[in-house]
Structure 1
Amino acid sequence: MANMVLKELPKFEMMAFNAETGKFVKVSDEQYRGKWAVICFYPADFTFVCPTEIAAMNAKLDELRSLGVEVLAISTDTHYSHKRFVETEPLLKGLKMTIGADPTGEVSRAFGVYIEGEGVALRGRFIVNPDGIIVAEETIAPAVGRNVNELIRQIKAWQHAYKTGEVTPANWRPGKKTLPVNTDEEKMTGRVGDYVTIEEILS
């Protein structure tokens, strides 16, 4: 596996199933450059944890779009499999997401999440900023699903940091204190506790 944080979004092109339109489409990295994006790998269609993750992401898709975020899910299944999966899995009723097909594992390898010998991807989730740079990566083994609310919290924090140059402490949410190192770096050094308390961090 390769760490992708602070690296450029890999180039890719693949077939996909657009569940919102019910059509097969081609997607590529070019569609996600110049905007905030989430590229989200999952192991396989017709499994158990995977539809819960996709459904949770879909339930928050309007909120993500309101933040200017594009979302692409990817597995190593074909686009035909994706279509059948969406049509038969009850949790995916009303799905609006696009699901990319990576049957050769080429794209999964480019992101460092391909499990050689098994032909599937780990649960890898990548936040990409408008400069095409991956700023966050979460990669976990297949047995445990990820938290879409934490993803949204991170996106909001990254968007604030990108816009202002400020940095955000642990657990930051909009409306909470930031750390203005862009203006008070020398004053803050070794004195972060003068700006924010552990109670404020955990609240």
Structure 2
Amino acid sequence: MSSTMVRREMPEFTMDAYDAKSGHYTTVSSEDYKGKWAVICFYPADFTFVCPTEIAAMNAKYDEFQQMGVEILAVSVDSKFSHKRFVETEPVLAGLQLTIGADTTQEVSRDFGVLIEEEGVALRGRFLFNPDGVCVAQEVQADSVGRNVNEFLRQVEAWQYATKTGEVCPAGWRPGKKTLPVNTDAEQMTGRVGDYITIEEILS
């Protein structure tokens, strides 16, 4: 597995999928996400335990992601038929609006560097791509602990702000908090970040 997708372009892919919003099967490809902020979110398998909680959490924030212009694609190695049955029978997935890709060949998971070859399933890998198709953030975890969608939303907001303004966002940044305007004051701030922002402001 490759160590990171960050600063690399989205791998090209085409695969079957289940569109939970429409209830129909479809096809998705990397071309669908060009020119957009996009999240490709891998999970190990349908009919497991942590996975539906993560999918449901992303779905609960679906409207917020849409307002930010972010497209979401969930992916596992299960078939589109399994995805449909999973969505229809798992109570926590009621009202799901996401599309779930069926990486039955395991090639997409492999290209993103999250395939566990000996098990034939993907790690919990979440990748954020900017409109240029370049990965700016990733989070990869083993299977026992789910990811935090609220923290991910914060990261998306920070990345969109930094991309728009050229400023950089300190740890824990949220809209309305202080940024670091290195695009205009880089020389003045070098080695003196603590004169501009305090640890109390960072953690507030």
Q: What's 2:122 paired with? A: 121
Once residues 33 and 146 of structure 1 are traced to their aligned partners in structure 2, the CA distance between those partners, rounded to angstroms, is: 25
Deviation at 1:104, TM superposition (A): 1.2
Once residues 92 and 60 of structure 1 are traced to their aligned partners in structure 2, the CA distance between those partners, rounded to angstroms, is: 13
Q: What's 1:11 paired with? A: 12
Once residues 82 and 98 of structure 2 are traced to their aligned partners in structure 1, the CA distance between those partners, rounded to angstroms, is: 15
Which of structure 1's runs of 4+ aligned residues deviate more than 3 A?
none
Q: Does 1:139 align with 2:130?
A: no
The gaps in structure 2 that reach 5 residues or longer are: none
Deviation at 1:17, TM superposition (A): 0.2
Q: What's 1:93 paired with? A: 94
Amino acid of the residue matched to residue 160 of structure 1? Y
The C-alpha deviation readout for 1:123-163, integer Å capped at 9, x for no partner, is 00000000000000100000000000011000000000100
Q: Does 1:35 align with 2:44?
A: no
Question: Percent sequence identity over matched residues?
Answer: 71
Partner SS, residue 118 of structure 1: coil
Once residues 71 and 162 of structure 1 are traced to their aligned partners in structure 2, the CA distance between those partners, rounded to angstroms, is: 19
How many pairs align?
A: 203
Once residues 67 and 36 of structure 1 are traced to their aligned partners in structure 2, the CA distance between those partners, rounded to angstroms, is: 9
Q: What's 1:71 paired with? A: 72
Partner SS, residue 168 of structure 2: coil
Q: Does 1:61 align with 2:62?
A: yes
Amino acid of the residue matched to residue 174 of structure 2? R
Deviation at 1:188, TM superposition (A): 0.3
The C-alpha deviation readout for 1:28-51, integer Å capped at 9, x for no partner, is 001111010100000000000000
Q: What's 1:104 paired with? A: 105
Once residues 42 and 10 of structure 2 are traced to their aligned partners in structure 1, the CA distance between those partners, rounded to angstroms, is: 14
Deviation at 1:11, TM superposition (A): 0.3
- Taking only aligned residues, the RMSD between alpha carbons, in angstroms, comes to 0.4
Amino acid of the residue matched to residue 118 of structure 1? E
Once residues 102 and 119 of structure 1 are traced to their aligned partners in structure 2, the CA distance between those partners, rounded to angstroms, is: 11
Once residues 122 and 33 of structure 1 are traced to their aligned partners in structure 2, the CA distance between those partners, rounded to angstroms, is: 24
Once residues 201 and 150 of structure 1 are traced to their aligned partners in structure 2, the CA distance between those partners, rounded to angstroms, is: 15
TM-score calculated relative to the size of structure 2: 0.99
Amino acid of the residue matched to residue 36 of structure 1? W
TM-score calculated relative to the size of structure 1: 0.99
